[in-house]
Amino acid sequence: METTQLEYYRRREAQARKLADSAKDDCARRVHLTMAARYSAITKTDESRRAG
């Protein structure tokens, strides 16, 4: 994955965590945290592949 794509997913993860922090509804908070975890997994998987 290109660096710009990794940066995109890192930004999306940060945004999702920020939205989770400000969410007043528990369901919305969980959805944002789930998305943040998925974005994080994408970047970690790619970093693992690069490391060999």
Higher pLDDT, 5 or 46: 5
Using 50, 70 and 90 to split pLDDT, how confident is the model at 26? very high
Using 50, 70 and 90 to split pLDDT, how confident is the model at 34? very high
Report yes or no on 41 lying in a domain.
Answer: yes
Phi, psi of 24 (to 5 degrees): -90, -25
Residue with tokens 């592949």: 49
- Domain that includes residue 17, residue range: 7-51
Report yes or no on 15 lying in a domain.
Answer: yes
Report yes or no on 30 lying in a domain.
Answer: yes
Report yes or no on 1 lying in a domain.
Answer: no
Residue 41 has pLDDT above 80, yes or no: yes
If one counts the domains in the chain, the total is: 1
* Rounded-to-integer distance, Cα 35 and Cα 16, Å: 7
Report yes or no on 43 lying in a domain.
Answer: yes
Handedness of CA 5, 6, 12, 15 (dihedral sign): negative
Report yes or no on 37 lying in a domain.
Answer: yes
**pTM, 2 dp:** 0.86
